[in-house]
Amino acid sequence: MATTGKTRNIKVIEVHGVRKTYGPTVAVDDVSFHVADGEIFGLIGPNGAGKTTTMECVEGLRSPDRGTISVLGLDPVRDVYKLQRLVGVQLQEAQLQKRIKVWEAVHLWASLYERKAADGDRLLEQLGLGEKRNAWFMTLSGGQKQRLFIALALINDPELVFLDELTTGLDPQARRAIWDLVRGIRQRGKTVFLTTHLMEEAERLCDRVAIIEHGRIIDIDTPQGLINRHCPERQVVLATDDPLAEERFRSIPRVETVIRQDGRFTIGGRGDDLVTNVIHCLSENRIRVTDFRTVLPTLEDVFLKLTGHSIRD
């Protein structure tokens, strides 16, 4: 479980055995998970895996065929209007009226919520949209549109924010800016439930992730927990012209493979100690190296291992 203070064990979202079909297609099957108060929880998987369907069932925009969902103690289908007042939602690929002005959208949204809304103008400033107040929606860039949607999702100062594929189609710079925003939401004590097909995004942002494929959840854990359990392999790549190096490397504890190519060695093994052991060996034997780096598995590797294919396929 993730760290950062607060009452971590209160379950903001609880999903049990949810199934949703569209005609003959089973979009989501037997999905169960929970989201704890104050965490960033990510549902990750390729396009079409059932992420959005799952999220929209939790938001109350779709009703599941089977299973139970509880959000902030409410039934999202039965109490959908009550729920909408308490949460903030950013939908995948949403649009607004082409010629609506930024401030008009914020003003309209603010007027829809009874509880004291966040200060719209301040929110726009915080999200770097202050200068775009009077711009039409259609004239905004992709990143600006996404930031506006984030502003709309936060306008009622919600306890729980849903973000569906919020950085898709953005350039890396805009993406990083949005990641900072999402971390900011968590810092204010809110809970974030997001979906993404970007493993890097999940790894950098999420406290916990659920990997979903073909409508089923394969595993749930912290990104590091998933990596440690499924991909314990570590690699050290180094360059040296010491003639005895290869022999020394092979005798390092926990080392499984040593591959030599063009004066470079790739040392492979398992567990967190591998890197320390290699460094130890280098200093003990006074091996002079001209390059040294580690190759650590990522969520991408976890996904590959669990599903047998890359998330981009």
Partner 1 sequence: MLRGLANLTWLEIKIFLREPLGAITTVGIPVLVFIVFGRVVGRGPAPPPQSAIGLIRVQLPVFVTVLIAINAVLSLVTIVSIYREGGILKRLRATPLRPHTILAAHVIVKLLLTVITLMLTVLAGKRYYPLDVDVPVFGFTVALLVSTVSILSIGFLIASIVPTARFAQPIGGLILYPMLGLSGLFVRPESLPPALRSLARVLPLTYAVSLLEGIWRGDAWSAHLGDLLALAMVFVVCTALSAKVFRWE
- Give the footprint of partner 1 on this chain (CB under 8 A): 59, 61, 81, 84-85, 89, 91, 93-100, 104, 107-109, 111-114, 136
Cβ at position 157, least distance to partner 1 in Å = 14
Structure tokens at 209: 């992730």
Interstrand relation of 66-71 and 11-22 (parallel, antiparallel or unpaired): antiparallel
- Contact present, 294 and 282 (Cβ < 8 Å): no
Closest CB to partner 1 among residues 115, 188: 115
Cβ at position 96, least distance to partner 1 in Å = 6
Closest CB to partner 1 among residues 54, 84: 84
Please provide the distance, in angstroms rounded to a whole number, between the alpha carbons at the two ends of the chain.
Answer: 30
Cβ at position 105, least distance to partner 1 in Å = 9
Closest CB to partner 1 among residues 78, 99: 99
The sheet carrying 25-36 orders its strands as 25-36, 11-22, 66-71
Q: Taking the CB of residue 95, how many other CB atoms lie within 10 A of it?
A: 11
Cβ at position 81, least distance to partner 1 in Å = 6
- Contact present, 85 and 114 (Cβ < 8 Å): yes
Cβ at position 162, least distance to partner 1 in Å = 9
Radius of gyration of the chain (CA): 23
Interstrand relation of 216-221 and 66-71 (parallel, antiparallel or unpaired): unpaired
In sequence order, what are the beta bridge partners of 210? 43, 220
Cβ at position 239, least distance to partner 1 in Å = 52
Closest CB to partner 1 among residues 139, 294: 139
Alpha-carbon distance of 163 to 180, in angstroms, equals: 14
Alpha-carbon distance of 80 to 74, in angstroms, equals: 8
Closest CB to partner 1 among residues 65, 104: 104
Closest CB to partner 1 among residues 137, 265: 137
